Each structure stands twice: as C-alpha cells, then as structure tokens.
Structure 1
Amino acid sequence: MANLVIDIGNTFTKVAVFENDDLLTINQTKQLTAESIDNLLYEHVITKVITSSVKKEKQSWQIELEKKHPVIYFNSLIPAGVNNYYKTPDTLGTDRFAAVIGAHYLYPQQNNIIISGGTCITYDYIDSNANYLGGSISPGLNMRFNALNHYTDALPLIIADAAFTAIYGNDTTSAIISGVQNGIKYELKGFIESYTKAAEQYNIILSGGDGIFFDTLLKNSIFAPYIKNEPHLVLKGLNAAIQQHND
C-alpha cells in the first residue's frame, strides 16, 4: 500500500513512492513518460496519487495516468493541518506550500523557517502553532550569475564556487563570486534574524537544489546548530498532504 507523489518543477520532475512516511524510491527527470509511470504502478500497490505542478498545462502522461488512477491535484487550499494566512492563496506556489506542510509535518509544534534554493530562493515561516504567515522570494544563485552576464557587456558568466570564502574579490571573476555568494550569505542571515526574532527555539530547514550550498555558506555562523537539511521536503510535504486527504 503506497502513495505515488509527483512534483513537476520548472526544469525537473521528481517522482517518489512512499509507504506511510518511508520514502521507497525517488527519480528525477527532465521528461517524464507514461511508460515510466506504468512501471511504478506495476511495481508498487499504489493506493493514492498526488501531483503538484508549477505549469498550467497538463502533460500527456498526466492524461494517461488519470485514466488508470484517481489523481489528487495539490493546491494551496488543501489545509493539511496548516493555518494558511497568505492573502492570495491562489498565487502561492504549490512547491512553497508543500514545503511548508512538510516542515510542519516533520517538526510539529516548532517554529520553522524554510529556505529553498532553486531557480529562485524562497523563504517561508510557519510558527509552532501551525500558522503559516508568508515568506519572501528572491533571485536564485544561478539567476544572479546569469543576470550579471546578460545585462552587461563586459562581465563574464561565472559559476558558483563553494570553496570561495574571501570577503572580497581581487579580480573580476572573484569579485562576481564574492558579490553573488556573499550577497546570498548576508541575505540568508538577514532573513533568518528577521523571521526568528521573536522565537527562542526554531529550525532552519534547507531544501532545493542549492540547499547543501546554502548549508556551506552558513556552516560557521551562529545559525549552524539550527540547520536541518531536507532535500526532499516538497515530496514529503505532498505525501503528508495526501495522507491527510479524505477523498
């Protein structure tokens, strides 16, 4: 008896199978096919299916899946034990809200700040009483490097360097790395301080493709003891939502 959980992002689609809270299998692909879904349905006794998507149009495999199994389409109106105070829930990204649900499910009755690093960096806060108060969105790591190259004539395209620890750069390349990576580090610290100012105890939950990189940026800070890495937080949130769904 298992749940099939599918998270459709801007670049990748993640497919996972859970048995209760246990993650049995996970796969990430740029192009999901009906055949790969059929293989999972054959290999596991799937009782529930939930999908979350940042895209408006259905994929061909989704249409085929609907013919074989009831599908729950996750949205920000699914409560899953969270009090959602976002003023425009219809515009709240499903990945953000799933991550909030995941944080609350994994660390209940605790103050949680969720930081997800992907195309964008998102910051979200849910308090110990399960109140989701909102969050912040800023450009992601690679977006910043790309923007400096795209919107200027002279600046080269640089990639992130996790080993870079200097405060300033002494040439153009290192100056860009310093500006982007130190800028994100100061941004992380600033948001964490603001979000947790009134909380004596809290968790900093890092997720997304750049979550481990952010951990590196914060590893020598006062926040290091509060960090929890949850690379599959969105999938776990979707699984928590489907387990609490009554339909």
Structure 2
Amino acid sequence: MLLLIDAGNTRVKWALPDEQAVPDTRLSAWLRMESLAHDALDTVLADWQTLPVSRVLISNVAGDVVQQAIEQRLAQAFPALSPVRFRSTACVAGMENHYRFPEKLGSDRFATAIGARALYPQQELLIATCGTATTVDIVSSAGHFEGGMILPGLKLMAESLAKQTAQLPQVAESIQVSQPFADNTDQAIVSGCIHAQTGAILQALQAREQQTGQPVRCLISGGAAPYLLPHLQGKAEAIPSLVLTGLRVVAQSHPELFQQ
C-alpha cells in the first residue's frame, strides 16, 4: 500500500490511493484521504499503525521541523520503511521543468503540475492553487512546466489589513462580482482581496491564451478555492488534491524511487 503525504504551509494531507483505479478528479480514486493541522500530527500515529503501508512518498514545503515531525511518526508506525522525499528536478513523470533552476521550484507546485497534466493530458493548463500563498502556474500542452506567479493568499491579504479575518468565509461569500464596490469597510477589504486574487488569475489566463492562440483550461485548488471560484466568471473548475494526485503519478511512473 502506498502512503502519500502533502505537507503544506498550514496543513498536512495524507492519502491512500486506490492503485487499481485510474487517477481522476473523484474520490473513488482514493481509499482514504485526511487533512490535519501541523500541531495535530500526533493524531495520525494511531491511524498509520493499522495500515499495511509498504511505500511512502512525501512532498513538504513546510520546513525542517514539520519534516522531522512527520518522519518521527512514520518511523514509529513503519520502522522498516524509508520514506522518500519528492523534490523538483528537471524532468519527472514526463513533465519537463522549465524553471530557471528546476530544483528551486516548490515540490508542491511541481507535483500539482504533474497531477493536472495526468488529469488533462495534451491541454494548455493554468493552475491556480489558493492557500497561504496563491500560485498561478502554466503547463503547456507539450507537458512543460513554464513557470508562474506567486502572490499572498486570500487570508494573508485580509490579515495584512487586520479586518474581520475570522469571518472571512462569511464575508467572502456575500461579495457579488456584479457589485464589487462595498458600502462598509469590512466588505470593501474582502472585495478588494477577492478581486485582486481573481484578477491575477483571469489576467494570467487571458495572457496565456493570447500568447499561444489556444484555449487554456483553468483549474483552481486549495483551501481558498471555494471563495474565489464564484468570482471567476465561470472560467475555472475546482479540482481537489492536485498535489496528492501528482505524487501518485510520480510513484506509479518511478517505482525505482522506492528501491532500498
């Protein structure tokens, strides 16, 4: 059994893929999937100890402390296993990494690109991942990671103005695209943050379509995706867990990673 771990800046997701199923956007491709905060990592040990795991693949962008915490729990649950750390390189699973320094690309962004490409092969893709930061990345129809942009995430933008961030979801849902100009400060801040995020995504989408002369499929993922999706004018579709999907593709494409 394969255990996949996606350690992001605020949460850790882990999943068990159904290795007999074709990767798709539905939960049917997964036997189990969980998400927890960094400070709740102790709770995974009881779950992991019951699983017949034979391989582990980790993407971690949360730093050494989180990596060490994950590895400690893995060592307790599966003492005979050596987990594999996924890192960005020049080419993995058929995806060419055109970052100037390929190894500097965040492993989550590269895994996301690989996952999106597996779901929508031979298509021009724009992938917006909306979490602590928002990244907007391009994958060409030829399977090349072309690069992208990084901006503060929706919550981080709102927090920088110190206004009602605890109520961000409720306020965000009340904003209408047709009425972007709010008559109170809290909604004005959230409206500005939402339209800054969606404006960046839509501008990138338009720029890529003009650059290539081809239609571009826009995918959105991440914790803030539900709040941004209604404001993207029907030009994006939500796809969950793209990092885990990409890790699954990597594991299937490169069994040599797990050779001791």
Alpha-carbon deviations, 1:89-140, whole Å to 9, x = none? 2221111111001001111111111000001110010111001110100111
Partner of 1:74: 86
SS at match of 2:180: coil
Does the residue aligned with 1:201 lie in a helix, a strand or coil?
coil
1:173 alignment counterpart: 186
User: Given the alignment of the two structures, is residue 118 of structure 1 paired with residue 125 of structure 2, yes or no?
Assistant: no
- Which of 32, 35, 42 aligns to 1:28? It is 35
Aligned to 2:113: 100
Q: Which residue of 1 aligns with 2:226?
A: 212
- Separation of aligned partners in 2, 1:19 and 1:125: 28
Counterpart of 2:247? 238
Q: Which residue, out of 43, 48, 51, partners 1:40?
A: 48
Deviations 1:130-178 (A, max 9, x none): 01110100111011111122xxxxxx34424212112212222232222
Identity of aligned residues (%): 28
List alignment gaps of at least 5 residues for structure 1: 150-155
Which residue number corresponds to residue 26 of structure 2?
none
Aligned to 1:161: 172
TM-aligned CA deviation for residue 41 of structure 1: 5.2
Poorly superposed stretches of 4+, deviation over 4 Å: none
Structure 1 distance, partners of 2:213, 2:32, is 36
Other structure's SS at 2:174 match: coil
Alignment deviations for residues 10-47 of structure 1 (CA, whole Å, 9 cap, x no partner): 111101001223211011112223x734633533x433
Q: After the TM superposition, which residues 118-197 of structure 1 pair with which residues of structure 2 at under 5 Å, given as runs?
A: 118-149=131-162, 156-158=163-165, 159=168, 160-165=171-176, 166-197=179-210
Q: Return closer, same or farther for 1:3/1:199 CA change in 2, 3 Å cut-off.
A: farther
Note if 1:203 corresponds to 2:203. no
CA distance in 1, matches of 2:228, 2:152: 14
Distance 1:212 1:136, change over 3 A: same
Q: In the alignment, residue 72 of structure 1 is paired with which amino acid?
A: V
Distance in 2 (CA, whole Å) between partners of 1:61 and 1:114 is: 27
| Greater per-residue helix proportion | 2
Amino acid at match of 2:74: L
Q: Specify the code of the residue in structure 2 equivalent to 1:238.
A: L
In structure 2, C-alpha distance between the alignment counterparts of 1:39 and 1:28, rounded to whole Å: 13
Q: Distance in 1 between matches of 2:200 and 2:218?
A: 14
Distance in structure 2 (CA, Å) of the matches to 1:61 and 1:134: 29
Hey, what's the Cα distance between the residues in 1 that align with 2:103 and 2:216? 28
CA 1:141–1:80 in structure 2 vs 1: closer, same or farther (change >3 Å)? same
- 1:17 maps to what in 2? 16
Taking structure 2 as the reference length, the TM-score comes to 0.82
Alpha-carbon RMSD across the aligned residues, in angstroms, is 1.9
- The aligned amino acid for 1:47 is S
Q: Distance in 2 between matches of 1:233 and 1:60?
A: 23
Number of matched pairs: 233
Cα offset for 1:229?
A: 1.5
1:53 aligns with 2:53: no
Distance 1:229 1:171, change over 3 A: closer
